Amino acid sequence: MAREYVVGKHLLDEVLADKPWLRRAYSIISSDPEVRALWEMSNVMAVKRLLYNDHGPVHARIAAGASLALYELLVEHGVESTLLRDGVVDKREYAWLVPLYGALLHDIGNAIHRDLHEKLGALLARPILDRILPEIIEDRELAVMLRQEIMHSIFCTAYDARCLTVEAGCVSVGDGLDMAEGRARVPYHMGSINIHSVSALSIKRVEITRGDDTPIKINIYMDEMAGVFQVDEVLMPKLKTTPLKDYVEITAISGDREIKTYSPRT
């Protein structure tokens, strides 16, 4: 039976359960005072001041869980790590740090401003990674190279950035999958009634599983057709800028009916 991940608050713990080295890496970054403060300030700016939906610590955890779930399915299918292919790392476990740390840090630029937050976030991440990575990687040169890959993954969550690695692609797509129960990734003003808010509230559940013809299938369950807007305007633009576009199929489901399907063949 195909493994099935439900995107939500508990997914990160589920994916990390059998990965003690990666769990330690998560523990180190999630307990860092600067990281925690940036997560909180991201929500001060996005939620309290701009009146947008969540871009803070809960979103960071959900995006990280989704990113790692995507990467796990790709690895199980035999999709080659870009970092291994290009000689950036020589151990597969190191490549896992990109979807983990990239997703956890991808929105910290909001702590400065929503505008250009992906670029700002990549720069804010540098001193954090310089401090944290040596705690888990002894080789200084390797730590710097991984730092650059993680910064690349943060930068590439922008819609206009071309993602150059499979690992960073998992961060971008994983970010876009935090959309159930009003958690859409296109920021919308809380309490407003428009296509952004209506479509966001239409999404009820997002599942990641193995596809029939692809390594990954994403099922998006909605109770209103308006939810398709989230798929078309949020998820697909992210997917198309990443190497994952060749490995992922997406099905939008309303009730018991498939209302739209996206695949590498279409």
Q: How confident is the model at residue 185 (pLDDT cuts 50, 70, 90)?
A: low
Interval 167-183: pLDDT, tens = 999 999 999 999 887 67
**Beta strand pairing call for 203-209 and 4-6:** antiparallel
Q: What percent of the chain has pLDDT over 70?
A: 93
pLDDT at 1 (0 to 100): 47
pLDDT at 79 (0 to 100): 97
Q: Residue 218 forms beta bridges with which residues?
A: 208, 250
From CA 8, how far away is CA 160, in angstroms rounded?
A: 26
The mean pLDDT of 90-106, rounded to a whole number, is: 97
Give the 3-state secondary structure of residue 261. Answer: strand
Interval 13-47: pLDDT, tens = 999 999 999 999 999 999 999 999 999 999 999 98
Comparing C-alpha atoms, which of 159, 169, 170, 156 is closest to residue 5? 170
From CA 138, how far away is CA 144, in angstroms rounded?
A: 11
- Predicted model pTM: 0.94
Q: Dump the DSSP string for 26-85.
A: HHHHHT-HHHHHHHHHHHIIIIIIT-----SHHHHHHHHHHHHHHHHHHHHHTPPPHHHH
Residue 67 token pair: 């990113």
Comparing C-alpha atoms, which of 130, 132, 136, 61 is closest to residue 100? 61
Look-up of token digits 């630029």: 109
The mean pLDDT of 117-122, rounded to a whole number, is: 97
Interval 130-152: pLDDT, tens = 999 999 999 999 999 999 999 99
The mean pLDDT of 100-104, rounded to a whole number, is: 98
